[in-house]
Structure 1
Amino acid sequence: MPHTNLRQELGKKQPFDSLEQEAVLNILRTSDIFHNQFGRLFREFGLTPSQYNVLRILRGEGKPMPSLEIADRMVQVVPAITGLIDRLQAQKLVNRKRCTADRRVVFIEITSKALELLKELDEPDRNLHRKLIGHLSSDELAELSRLLEKARTSLSSCKT
């Protein structure tokens, strides 16, 4: 596929107002394309991207976690973690357990069914990552991550 720039992709006739605007719109455009691709993959396995993210967090932690801690670790902010957990529990992918010391705290535990589902998804997930961004060199990938992290640092002190 021939390389096009964002102005061409969007059919924009005038230059962007600033380099910052062009960069942010490039990030948003890329994010949307990637999000749609991953959304399609996860739908094949009966999951949403947010549900997949919860399960990956739980598998990575290796033990039950408080639901609010899961919410804090999500890649994308989820306004209703309780509803998301409800849907995962309905699919028998997680269990809830109340903390005995503090009944307000609810621990979420991944099920063996979810672990099997994630195992099935691991290879297709890796393949999609390669398809989307595997054409970049290791140095380019490291630089891209560094720049994106740097772009987010100005926001970390002013979270809303």
Structure 2
Amino acid sequence: MVALQRTASDLQWRLTEFLKPYGISPTQYNALRILRGAGDEGLACNEIGERMLNRDPDITRLLDRLVKSGLARRGRCKTDRRVITARITDNGLALLKSLDAPLEDLNQKITGQLGRQRLQEFLRTLDQIRERV
């Protein structure tokens, strides 16, 4: 268990350091990826929270920072005007696009020596552990 926690901590630190020059945190990066995947419709705050890797209890504040940075915007849901949705902006899309290749390179640097089959086995093992948590 300690080895998993240590590895997760090391990976989180590495991602944090990687993203610093871009002015975003790993949590903000995760939210932007979720919004990119949602497309033009966007997502309600609670849906974003459910999809986050880390359960951040204050999605509103996270979105406030993304909106202030011009990476996301808020609006009303087209089908239910009571619901506030968040959408990624063109600036947010451009930022993610600029990060895609460098992050893939980082991923390759970290996991490339494992080989495809060994990496897939490892990911299956992690899935099995996560199912029991």
Give the structure-1-normalised TM-score.
Answer: 0.78
Any runs of at least 4 consecutive aligned residues in structure 1 with deviations exceeding 2 A, and if so which? 98-102
Q: 2-side partners of 1:116 and 1:99: how far apart? A: 24
| Mapping 1:1-160, distance limit 5 Å | 24-63=1-40, 64-99=42-77, 101-103=80-82, 105-155=83-133
More helix by share: 2
Q: 2-side partners of 1:119 and 1:102: how far apart? A: 31
* Deviation of the 1:102 alpha carbon: 4.6
Instruction: Note the residue ranges of structure 2 that are not aligned, 5 or more in a row.
Output: none
Q: 2-side partners of 1:61 and 1:97: how far apart? A: 14
- Deviation string, structure 1 residues 35-57 (Cα, Å, up to 9, x no partner): 11110111110000000001111
Instruction: Note the residue ranges of structure 1 that are not aligned, 5 or more in a row.
Output: 1-23, 156-160
* Deviation of the 1:134 alpha carbon: 1.3
- Deviation string, structure 1 residues 12-64 (Cα, Å, up to 9, x no partner): xxxxxxxxxxxx11111111111111101111100000000011111122231
Secondary structure of 1:79's partner?
A: coil
Q: 1-side partners of 2:12 and 2:121: how far apart? A: 21
Q: Is the 8 A contact 1:34 1:132 kept in 2?
A: no
RMSD value over aligned CA atoms?
A: 1.2
Name which one, 1 or 2, has greater alpha-carbon Rg: 1
User: What percentage of aligned pairs have identical amino acids?
Assistant: 37
